[in-house]
């Protein structure tokens, strides 16, 4: 396994290069438009870019930790990175990027019904991923991540028994849903580029 990890530590950064570049490009673009619309006259546009940035920050955090979680030669370091990935997904707050703010933004932009449904379905998918994390990893989160159990042996065993590959698999599902949201956000913003959409946002302020 040490040899496999050493090989994958060389190979994974090369495999991930294209994905990392795409993620950074999406992040920079979304950040640019989130800043541009932060105090502007189009609140629905601002809301959607805010949601996109919220998701992409979490994805970049996970991307930064993933290779060490899989391949670092020190087991403790691998599991520490896996624990941080778990906490990132576990504490992701779906209510901050869904609910009334999202519905209002979609109503103001008024994209086709299939795009509205797709945006809402992505957030359902993200909630489902988070639900899996809570079902599988609540014990380790409560014992050895967000809180430190005073029963130190219980804390140690939770760390020792952590299924790193299980964490990485869940992170992959989170990636998939974030990618879907960025895709639907791009399509909604394309639909948003018209006078009637801007007028609805302007008058709703």
Q: pLDDT, tens digit, for every residue of 87-131?
A: 998 888 766 666 677 788 888 888 888 888 888 888 888 888 888
SS3 call for 161: coil
Token digits of residue 133: 């994390």
- CA dist 20 → 25, 41, 62 (Å): 9, 33, 11
pLDDT given for residue 199 in this prediction: 64
> Is the CB of residue 70 less than 8 Å from the CB of residue 164?
yes
Rounded Cα–Cα distance for residues 87 and 200 (Å): 39
pTM comes to: 0.84
């Amino acid at each position: 396994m040490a040899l496999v990890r050493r090989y994958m530590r060389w190979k994974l950064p090369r495999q991930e290069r294209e994905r990392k570049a795409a993620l950074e490009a999406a992040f920079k673009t979304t950040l640019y438009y989130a800043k541009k619309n932060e105090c502007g006259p189009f609140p629905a546009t601002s809301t959607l870019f805010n949601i996109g940035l919220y998701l992409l920050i979490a994805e970049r955090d996970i991307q930064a930790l993933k290779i060490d979680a899989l391949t670092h030669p020190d087991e403790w370091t691998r599991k520490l990175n896996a624990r941080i990935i778990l906490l990132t997904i576990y504490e992701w707050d779906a209510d901050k990027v869904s609910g009334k703010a999202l519905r209002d933004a979609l109503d103001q932009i008024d994209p086709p019904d299939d795009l509205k449904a797709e945006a809402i379905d992505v957030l359902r998918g993200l909630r489902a991923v988070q639900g899996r994390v809570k079902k599988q990893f609540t014990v380790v989160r409560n014992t050895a991540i967000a809180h430190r159990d005073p029963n130190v042996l219980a804390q140690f065993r939770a760390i020792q028994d952590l299924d790193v590959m299980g964490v990485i698999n869940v992170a992959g599902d989170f990636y998939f849903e974030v990618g879907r949201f960025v895709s639907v956000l791009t399509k909604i913003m394309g639909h948003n580029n018209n006078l009637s959409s801007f007028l609805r946002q302007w008058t709703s302020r």
